[in-house]
Amino acid sequence: MATPQHIARLREFVGTELLIMPAATALVRDGAGRLLLVRHAGDAHRWGIPGGCLEIGETPAAGAVREVAEETGVDVRLHGIVDAVGGPGYEVQYANGDRVAYVSTIFHGVAVGGTPRPDGDEIAEVRWFRRDELAGLELTSYARHALGVAGLLAPDPGFAHEVRVRYADCDQQGVVFNGHYLTYADDAVDAWFTAALAPGFDCMVRKATVEWASSARHGETLTLRPRVNRWGRTSFDVTVEGSVGARPVFEAVLHYVSVAPGTADPTPVPDEVRAALTRRPRTVLLTTERLVLRRFTADDVDLLVELDADPEVLRHVPDGRATPRAEVEAELLPRYLAYYEVYRGFGFFAAQERASGEFLGWFHLRPPEGADFVDAELGYRLRRSAWGKGFATEGARALVELAFVELGARRVHAGTMTANTASRRVLEKAGLRLVRTFPEESLEYAMTRDEWAQMRSTDLT
């Protein structure tokens, strides 16, 4: 979008001085899990995520929806927040000298209409990318951060620091002096910490080692990739791999100790620092007193086949048909895995007993096809060995709470058969009530967020 009028008026008074600018962007995916990226007209090589400044009186969510539509022609429905960012790493100076410090909310979203096309002004190109294509793209630092936090740049979280080898770093043969490699590594870690961490965290290097595989030479570009390879209570080790293209050059290991600001006293590494420097995709959805609900993986084929092989488990399923192994491998499980990429927090999740790790079945929480994200459908299927032990009620209650507290749902509903009295009791214990009866001997149970809040307040009094 063009510069908002209120910003233009401010510029008349402050010129090019630094302004704080609220903004909103979105990681938009389609039904196949592809991500929508844009290339700005003034940046011919790097891809970013659509978004921009908020208008006066506009909420971040409304601004993200509007910006995506204006820049890309795609209509989006939001369903969660990826991150909220700001600080020195998000200060920009434009070609005209204007300086801006962005404070931005990054949303998850799914495309619900429209045709991708550039706006003909700020945006030069709009494209969908598969997840396996993202690692090979040249991305803006903002986009790289958002994708890293969302777990979409796997297995590498994506941070890379590049250094052009200077003449002053080399001997008469143009080869880098060995002592400079630790400086390169330290610069890379400093850039990583600046991009990934909020201000206030302090640490110091106690030990550093370097191993060489080859030499870098004057004029070459070193790509440096830092990652944490060991966590302690107050310390951690960062490995920095340096390469020129595909050729490994060196590997440095830096031993850091977390210290209290302004002192050299060791202090425990904060949890938020561990999370920011790990950036692993979230595989466990939630845990309860006795259950762990986790994402399915490609290795879970046998578990799903075995679950559906028991006729008693499928007795109240409308078609009652066991899913063949070939269908699980080719259709069912890939659909579950793709779902995680499109709908953050929703999907089918494997249920394990927390104490033993035994697979018990699955639960699902998802917006119905074509429905808004304010409506979430609850369901479950458990092995016979898990029946009658309260696992279904425990999992259902946890998912209802997740839907209302974390995912922003306004209503949770579930379907069951009239004859399935056990399932009906589970839904009632989870707080849902019967709202509709269908001709096919099926029932709909539901609960609104207000009803859930009232039930919670009653439980606490």
Cα 154 → chain centroid: 11
Question: Is the separation of the CB atoms in 384 and 419 below 8 Å?
Answer: no
Query: Whole-angstrom Cα distance, residue 45 to residue 42?
Result: 9
Specify the amino acid at residue 441: E
Cα within 13 Å of Cα(126), Cβ side: 22
Query: Whole-angstrom Cα distance, residue 222 to residue 245?
Result: 8
**CATH code, domain carrying 79:** 3.90.79.10
- Considering the domain architecture, whether residues 181 and 141 belong to the same structural domain is answered as no
- Considering the domain architecture, whether residues 249 and 359 belong to the same structural domain is answered as no
Q: Which of 125, 156, 187 is the last residue of a domain?
A: 156
Query: Whole-angstrom Cα distance, residue 32 to residue 69?
Result: 20
Question: Is the separation of the CB atoms in 412 and 371 below 8 Å?
Answer: no
Q: How is residue 190 annotated by DSSP?
A: H
Q: How is residue 246 annotated by DSSP?
A: T
- H helix or E strand, kind and range, residue 183: helix 180-196
Q: 190 vs 144, 193, 319, 431, 456, CA distance in Å?
A: 17, 5, 58, 50, 46
- Considering the domain architecture, whether residues 292 and 253 belong to the same structural domain is answered as no
- Considering the domain architecture, whether residues 369 and 434 belong to the same structural domain is answered as yes
Per-residue pLDDT of the chain (461 residues; tens, 9 = 90+): 567 778 888 888 889 888 888 999 999 998 878 899 999 887 766 789 999 999 999 999 999 999 999 999 999 999 878 888 776 556 776 667 888 888 999 998 999 999 999 988 889 999 999 887 887 777 776 787 778 667 676 444 356 788 889 999 999 999 999 989 999 999 889 888 877 777 788 999 999 999 888 889 998 888 888 988 888 999 999 999 888 875 788 999 999 999 988 778 899 999 888 877 875 445 667 778 899 898 898 889 999 999 999 999 999 887 778 889 999 988 888 888 877 766 667 889 999 998 888 999 999 998 755 444 568 899 999 999 999 999 999 999 999 988 887 777 889 999 999 999 999 999 999 999 999 998 878 999 999 988 988 887 665 44
- Considering the domain architecture, whether residues 149 and 187 belong to the same structural domain is answered as no
Q: Which of 258, 278, 298 is the last residue of a domain?
A: 278
Backbone angles phi, psi at 35, to 5 degrees: -105, 140
**CATH code, domain carrying 270:** 3.10.129.10
- Considering the domain architecture, whether residues 288 and 431 belong to the same structural domain is answered as yes
Q: 270 vs 87, 88, 188, 261, CA distance in Å?
A: 19, 21, 21, 13
Domain span at 179? 162-278
Cα within 13 Å of Cα(397), Cβ side: 17
Q: CB under 8 Å to 171, separation ≥6 — which residues?
A: 177
Question: Is the separation of the CB atoms in 402 and 365 below 8 Å?
Answer: yes
For the chain, the domain total comes to 3
Q: Which of 216, 247, 278 is the last residue of a domain?
A: 278
pLDDT reported for residue 402: 85
Query: 74, exposed or middle or buried, with CB in 10 Å at 0-12, 13-18, 19+?
Result: buried
Query: 177, exposed or middle or buried, with CB in 10 Å at 0-12, 13-18, 19+?
Result: exposed
- Residue 238 forms beta bridges with which residues? 228, 254
- Considering the domain architecture, whether residues 346 and 273 belong to the same structural domain is answered as no
- Considering the domain architecture, whether residues 323 and 436 belong to the same structural domain is answered as yes
